[in-house]
Structures are given as C-alpha cells and as structure tokens.
Structure 1
Amino acid sequence: MAPAAPRRAGSGKKAASWTQDPEGVRRNILAIARAEFVENGLSGARVDEIAAKTSTSKRMIYYYFGDKEGLYRAVLEEMYARIRNFERSLDLAALPPREAIATLAGFTFDYHADNPDFVRLVMVENIHHARHLENSAEIGELNLSAIDMIREVYERGLREGVFRAGLDPIDIHLTISALSFYNVSNRASILQVFGHDMGAPGARERRRASIIDTVLRMLAP
C-alpha cells in the first residue's frame, strides 16, 4: 500500500498526479533525477531543478527519498536492478556453457553501449569511492546474483571439459564488464586521440565480436 501523502498547500495537477498514480510519480522522479545526476554528478545536481522537471514537488521528493543522497542511491539501485533483471532474462542455465558465456558477453557489451547513462553513473559513484553502493544492501544482493550466474555456467563448462580450471567467476565477470565498460567510458577520448569512433556501427560490431572471442579464449582449456 502506498504511504499517505503529507498535507501540503495547493491542489492542481501535481497534487492530482500524486494521488492518482503514486508509483508513476516515483518513477517520474527517478527518471528525471537520473538525467540530472548523469549530466551534473551528485555534487552538481540540484533537487530544485529535479523537482521543477517532475510531476511532483520538492517536498514530495524528500518524502519519498529523504534527501538528495537518498534519491541518488535510489537511482543507482534502480539502474543496477535493471541490468541484473535483463541478465536473468537470458536464461543462461538453458544454454550450453560456451554459448551461455558468449551470450552474456554480447548482452553485456550491448547493454553498456545502449545505456551510456549506466556507465556515467558508475563513473560518478567511483568518484565518491562507492560509498552509496556500500550503504545499499539491495545493490550488494543484486550484484552477487551476477557472480552466481557465471559460477553456474563455469562449473558446467568444467564438468563438460570446455573450460579450463583455475579461474574465479568474479574474474570472468570483471573481464566482460571491463571490456564492455571501456567502449562507452572512453569513446570520446579514443575518438580525439586516434580518430576512431568506437560507437560507429561497423566499429561497434567488430568490437563486440572481438570481446566475445577474447572471453571465450580466456576460458578455453
């Protein structure tokens, strides 16, 4: 059940939106906040600006999220939940081990390329030494599921003799994530230094295939 709204002055469109669709208002706040944090970082984003662009008020933002850092943490939680949910939808357990890893690597690359806001927010959080991730039990649990999924595929591959022994599932995850992340985080600098646009369609497809091949070679016996 949604919490009761605190009393506030005024009626109008914003008040009606809250009472008619509280979850919709919450999603609207998170979407606007995500864009502000991506553009300005945690330090530069302003709750006044976020409130002005939403279907609610500054007071209601504080009611939902406590303060700006609470709002920022909720944005992070939503974004991590989204990528983990997409990963689960791949149903890797139903695929042969090599195909499962190739599918995961290709998906991870595409997800990062198609969701640059995720990459930028992770970069913002690293500037703040991941203290908001540290304070979110939800994100911790979500990310452990990603390692468990790789562990299951890796152990099947070991039993079938298609993967080499001695690898840690987290190293497999880090390799896939790092290769996918770099293609977005360093796109602008690589373009300026080498004149190579990693996001151009042809370059993107070649890089995707190279990353899948690299990960499979890492695992090969």
Structure 2
Amino acid sequence: MASPVPRKSSSSPARRDAAATQAILIQAAISEFSRNGFAGARVDEIARTAGVNKQLVYHYFNSKQGLYLVALESVYAEIREKEKHLSLEALEPLEAMSQLVAFSFDYLAAHPEFIALLSDENRNRASHILESRVLRKMHSPFIDMLDATLKQGVARGVFRDDIDALNLYISIAGISYFFFSNNHTLSAIFGKSLGSRAALAQRRRHVIDFALNALRP
C-alpha cells in the first residue's frame, strides 16, 4: 500500500511546522535515493540531512518504503505540473512540437535526480510505482499535447499522418534520456566532454531537428 502524500498545511502553527518538516524530509529523501537507490539509501542519512530525529521519518511516512513512494510521487508531480503550464495552442504545429521536444530535453538536463530515480525504479521492475495508486492515476498531459499538435500538423500538411502519439513520446524521451543517463560513459568512450555547455546545446539542437525531420511528410 502506498503511503499517502503528506497533508497540506492549515492555519495551525503545528500543522505548518509538520508540513515544513515533511517537505524537508522529502527533499532529503530525493537526494539520498537518487544517489544510492532504494536498496542503498539510509533513513539515518535522510534524517541527518533534514536535521530531524530519525523517528520522525517513521512517524510521518511509516517506513523507508513509504518515504520512497512519496519521494517518487513528488518528482512525478513536479514534471506533470510543469507540463500543464506549456501553452502551445496559439503556436504553429512545427513551433509547438519544437517546444515540446525542447521541454523534454531541458527538464532532464535540469533534473538529474529524476533520471537517477527512474533508473533505479526500472532496475526494480517498477515495483514501487505499481504499489502507488497516486502514480498510476497521475495522467501525463504531455501525451494529449503531442496528440493535439500532431493532428494540427497533419491537417496543415506539415506532419505525417501515421505517427502514434505514445510512440512519439517514447522516442522523444528516449533520445534525450539516453544522452543524460549514459553521459559519463559516452564521454569516456568517445573522449569528449558531452556534459559541457557547448555539448548540451549541440545535442539539444540535434534532438529537436531529429524529431521534426522524422515527422515531416
């Protein structure tokens, strides 16, 4: 059973303090779990980083797994919230698609902890996500935006009419995700610093051009 997401604070000072403590613990947990994975992360270290008594972790989240689930829910909720604020309706299909691809790349560039947590959860065969009703019901607006943009592009003759939105999402995510998740090994193998600002800018342009070229009729 997934642990509930911490309750929102009320006007009570005690509740505000509790909510603030939980928020600090969640951030400390995200950092620890992204560094060491679920198996290697230590509750003692999370509590120490948060500056609280270890027993508070169990008081608020019941267990290490309960805290891990809330940490996962938190990182997914953040990207879903940012997706909702993408305003693409007034843009031409090519520009809208360019912004969608760029958003996917930029978010991964700015959030290495998201990549680390996803990699660890995949090693665990999504066992924790499957236990979270919150995550399984957390619909991504990104797919809907892709689908709407694709349909507009097809109607205007700038996109192919045989592209599935879900497959496109996986492809867009994949060509960005692999670059970041394997950046150190790729840099070592090819003898090039692929984490530099210039390399990131070059890769970002390539990913956008690659996706748009694949969609053209």
Q: TM-score, normalised by structure 1?
A: 0.87
Same amino acid, percent of matched pairs: 36
- C-alpha change, 1:98 and 1:137, in structure 2 (3 Å) is farther
User: Who is 2:107 aligned against?
Assistant: 111
Q: CA deviation at 1:63?
A: 2.5
User: 1:123 aligned to 2:119?
Assistant: yes
> How large is the RMSD of aligned CA atoms in angstroms?
2.0
Q: Kindly report which structure 2 residues correspond to 1:36-115, keeping only aligned pairs within 5 A, or say none.
A: 36-115=32-111
User: Who is 1:161 aligned against?
Assistant: 157
Paired residues, number: 209
Unpaired runs of at least 5, structure 1 = 4-16
Q: CA deviation at 1:21?
A: 2.0
- Report if aligned partners of 1:73, 1:136 keep a CA contact under 8 Å in 2: yes
User: Who is 2:173 aligned against?
Assistant: 177
- Report if aligned partners of 1:102, 1:212 keep a CA contact under 8 Å in 2: yes
User: 1:32 aligned to 2:28?
Assistant: yes
Q: Kindly report which structure 2 residues correspond to 1:198-209, keeping only aligned pairs within 5 A, or say none.
A: 198-209=194-205
Q: CA deviation at 1:20?
A: 4.7
User: Who is 1:12 aligned against?
Assistant: none
Deviations 1:101-140 (A, max 9, x none): 1001111111111111111111010110011122223223
- Report if aligned partners of 2:187, 2:193 keep a CA contact under 8 Å in 1: yes
Q: CA deviation at 1:93?
A: 2.4
Distance, in Å, in 2 between the alignment partners of 1:118 and 1:161 is 36
User: Who is 1:210 aligned against?
Assistant: 206
Q: TM-score, normalised by structure 2?
A: 0.89
Comparing 57-66 with 156-165, greater Cα deviation is found at 57-66
- C-alpha change, 1:117 and 1:90, in structure 2 (3 Å) is same
Deviations 1:158-203 (A, max 9, x none): 2222211111101111111111111211111011111122221111
- Report if aligned partners of 1:98, 1:216 keep a CA contact under 8 Å in 2: yes
- Report if aligned partners of 1:25, 1:55 keep a CA contact under 8 Å in 2: no
- Report if aligned partners of 1:18, 1:56 keep a CA contact under 8 Å in 2: no
Hey, which of these two has a bigger chunk of helix by percent? 1
